[in-house]
């Protein structure tokens, strides 16, 4: 799956430059020109990483960062902040908020791309071996186990992979084609009804939590996140 990067920056020239280089490196790029717009896009689209400028109108990057970290839907999205060289206090504030990396302006776009790639690689390595908790769901990739409120679901390997993929990309719609590729490893979408059949079985096994898997008409499926703060 192509990784999506959200760039939050109010200077259009910088946005264009960063977008161009990230795009060329194979990323999908979303942009927002203000803090509130960035927050809205992050919540709606749950990008894989966020490049966040500190000097923003309306809301500073630090405030945006705080809001992202405090919301369940965005708390674990890696953030790379852009700072001016002199703003050491911002850098410290950012690190205190759990910013994953920072780069000082003026920066080389290539370095930025490398930093983003490293960030995602580091994160993948950690996530692969760890347990992911989302609301009452707990996904243990090492043991191929998913529990809901502490109760272990009796899943086939395919069902496990399907639910794990949905939970991992929670809040984002995954198309049937994407799921066939990620879960079944199919290169081309032969029969997307396979996905529907498995989702149906999965919902039966989820019982009262079945409504967490939402059908997005004409688009695919999405795992619903509770929007309340952690
Ligand atoms: Ca700026």
HEC readout, 9-35: CCCHHHHHHHHHHHHHCCCEEEEECCH
CATH number at residue 13: 3.40.50.2300
CATH number at residue 165: 1.10.10.10
On whether both 150 and 123 belong to a single domain, the answer is no
User: Does some domain include residue 30?
Assistant: yes
- Ligand 1 midpoint to CA 197 (Å): 48
Q: Which of 74, 92, 127 is the last residue of a domain?
A: 127
CB 199 within 8 A of CB 162: yes
- Ligand 1 midpoint to CA 120 (Å): 24
pLDDT at site 175:
93
10 Å CB burial of residue 96 (0-12, 13-18, 19+) is: exposed
- Ligand 1 midpoint to CA 12 (Å): 9
On whether both 9 and 122 belong to a single domain, the answer is yes
Q: Is 224 helix (H, G, I), strand (E, B) or coil?
A: coil
**Domain extent for 219:** 131-223
pLDDT at 14 over 90: yes
* pLDDT tens-digit readout, 175-207: 998 998 888 887 666 678 889 999 999 999 999
On whether both 105 and 16 belong to a single domain, the answer is yes
pLDDT at site 86:
64
Q: pTM of whole model > 0.75?
A: no
On whether both 107 and 199 belong to a single domain, the answer is no
Per mean pLDDT, which range of 39-43, 147-151, 181-185 is the poorest?
181-185
**Residues less than 5 Å from ion ligand 1, measured at CB:** 10, 53, 55
- Ligand 1 midpoint to CA 124 (Å): 29
- Ligand 1 midpoint to CA 80 (Å): 14
Geometric angle at alpha carbon 164, from 150 and 216, rounded to 5°: 110
- Ligand 1 midpoint to CA 97 (Å): 19
Tally of CA atoms within 13 A in the half-sphere of 184 that contains its CB: 17
CA 227/CA 72 separation, integer angstroms: 6
pLDDT at 230 over 50: no
Q: Which of 96, 127, 158 is the last residue of a domain?
A: 127
CA 15/CA 228 separation, integer angstroms: 31
On whether both 17 and 94 belong to a single domain, the answer is yes
User: Does some domain include residue 228?
Assistant: no
Q: Which of 74, 100, 127 is the last residue of a domain?
A: 127
On whether both 69 and 142 belong to a single domain, the answer is no
pLDDT at site 193:
87
- Ligand 1 midpoint to CA 69 (Å): 21
């Amino acid at each position: 799956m192509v990784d999506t990067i959200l760039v939050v920056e109010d200077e259009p020239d910088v946005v264009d430059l960063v977008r161009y280089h990230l795009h060329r490196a194979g990323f999908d790029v979303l942009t927002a020109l203000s803090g509130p717009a960035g927050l809205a896009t992050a919540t709606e689209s749950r990008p894989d990483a966020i490049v966040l400028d500190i000097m923003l109108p309306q809301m500073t990057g630090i405030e945006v960062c705080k809001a992202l970290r405090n919301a369940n839907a965005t708390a674990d999205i890696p953030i790379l902040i852009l700072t001016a060289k002199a703003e050491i206090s911002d850098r410290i504030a950012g690190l205190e908020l759990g910013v994953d990396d920072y780069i000082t302006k003026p920066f080389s776009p290539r370095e930025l791309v490398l930093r983003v790639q490293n960030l995602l690689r580091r994160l993948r390595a950690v996530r692969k071996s760890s347990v992911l908790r989302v609301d009452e769901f707990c996904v243990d990739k090492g043991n191929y186990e998913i529990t809901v409120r502490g109760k272990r679901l009796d899943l086939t390997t395919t069902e496990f992979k399907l639910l794990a993929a949905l939970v991992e990309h929670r809040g984002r719609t995954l198309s049937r084609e994407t799921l066939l590729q990620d879960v079944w490893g199919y290169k081309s979408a032969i029969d997307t009804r396979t996905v529907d059949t498995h989702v149906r079985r999965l919902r039966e096994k989820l019982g009262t939590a079945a409504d967490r898997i939402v059908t997005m008409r004409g688009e695919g499926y999405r795992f619903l996140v509770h929007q309340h703060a952690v």
